[in-house]
Amino acid sequence: MPIMLLAALIAAYILAHFMFMAHAFYHDSWLGAGVTTALWLWAGISLTTLVVHNALDQRPFKLTLLSCGNRFLSLLAMGLILGWLHP
């Protein structure tokens, strides 16, 4: 569990970093920057990585969908929280 907590904190920190850059570039609201950044990071990094690794490990497709959905909701929650808490 401590490793999972550490990994989630690192992911949230990186999401916050990219969210700050997206907000500065697009001049979007913090909440909008958090959600869009989370979606792009999920689609570009998490989704592609999970699909490739699960395909190579020959895991069932339903397990891949479950893992992708879990990662999507995790990043979306992080983006919403970071966007909502930012002043």
The pTM is what? 0.87
In this structure, how many other beta carbons lie within 10 angstroms of the beta carbon of residue 61? Answer: 10
Q: pLDDT tens digit string along 33-71?
A: 999 999 999 999 999 999 999 999 999 999 999 999 999
Among 11, 37, 13, which residue's Cα sits nearest to residue 25? 37
The whole-number pLDDT of residue 86 equals: 79
Please answer whether residues 28 and 86 qualify as being in contact, where contact means their C-beta atoms are separated by less than 8 angstroms: no
Tell me the C-alpha distance between 63 and 53, whole Å. 12
Q: pLDDT tens digit string along 20-34?
A: 999 999 988 999 999
Every domain of the chain and the residues it spans: 2-85
What is the share, in percent, of the chain residues with pLDDT greater than 70?
99
